[in-house]
Amino acid sequence: MSLMTEPDIWFTLYALAQQGAIHRRIIITTSDLGKLLNISQQTASRRIMTCVNQEYVERTHSSNGMLVKITKKGVKVLDDVLKGLETAFTQYEDEFDIRGRVMGGLGEGAYYVEVYSEHFEKALGFRPYPGTLNILVQNEGSRIALNRMRRGPPLIVKGFTQEDRTFGDVICYRVKINGSIDGAVVIAQRTHHSENVIEIIAPINLREELNLEDGSSVTLTIIPLHRAD
């Protein structure tokens, strides 16, 4: 059984990535890897073996050392670490806008909003209308703003179990819809939407209140978490 911890894997993959192993096979020895990680050659050998066994790294041997390349699974590990660090470092101070157009949904929003209703009310301070407004983000500036929002600290509505069914966590970001109505972007653990579609909840029926129909333009102003509190 390996004693290699998750951070050991992160640092090993990071060291290999710095040498270019995400993009191509690199030649490296366990001695070289040990120097990069400030560990012994024996420990480096065990680490690379564990990464190979867990399919984070592909390795073949050559006369000059190992030919090593990080696999897609290994790249995913590094990407998860990167996203976690981006979230930790990001704290936007000012409001900013995301613009998009209303689009039809799959008809599932009302059910899930109703199930989570009490939990949303505790987290957000309002009981949402049973349904979501789906917004398709279309222009590049708004897609950049959407990624900025996702890197920021969210409100998290914790998952729960109800009638032997498990409902996962929901990530929330406070917004103002068209500059006047308080609401929230909600991101469920499981969603059928693409990354450019976001779901909005509010205490009222947004389509009726704002006279919206499919294709209508909507502006979402993202409220920094510290100001929302």
Q: Are residues 134 and 78 in the same domain?
A: no
| Amino acid in position 90 | T
DSSP state of 50: H
Q: Is the dihedral of CA 215, 221, 225, 228 positive or negative?
A: negative
| Amino acid in position 80 | D
**Residue after which a domain boundary falls, among 40, 64, 89:** 89
Structural element, H or E, at residue 131: none
Query: What share of the chain has pLDDT > 90, as a percent?
Result: 62
- Per residue in 52-79, pLDDT (tens digit) is 999 999 999 888 889 999 999 999 999 8
Structural domain of residue 29, as residue ranges? 6-89
CATH code of the domain containing 103: 2.40.30.30
The chain-wide mean pLDDT, for the chain, equals 88
> Number of folded domains in the chain?
2
**Residue after which a domain boundary falls, among 44, 62, 89:** 89
Q: Are residues 60 and 108 in the same domain?
A: no
- Per residue in 135-169, pLDDT (tens digit) is 999 888 898 889 888 878 888 998 888 888 888 89
Please state which of the ranges 18-32, 61-75, 105-119, 183-197 shows the lowest mean pLDDT: 183-197
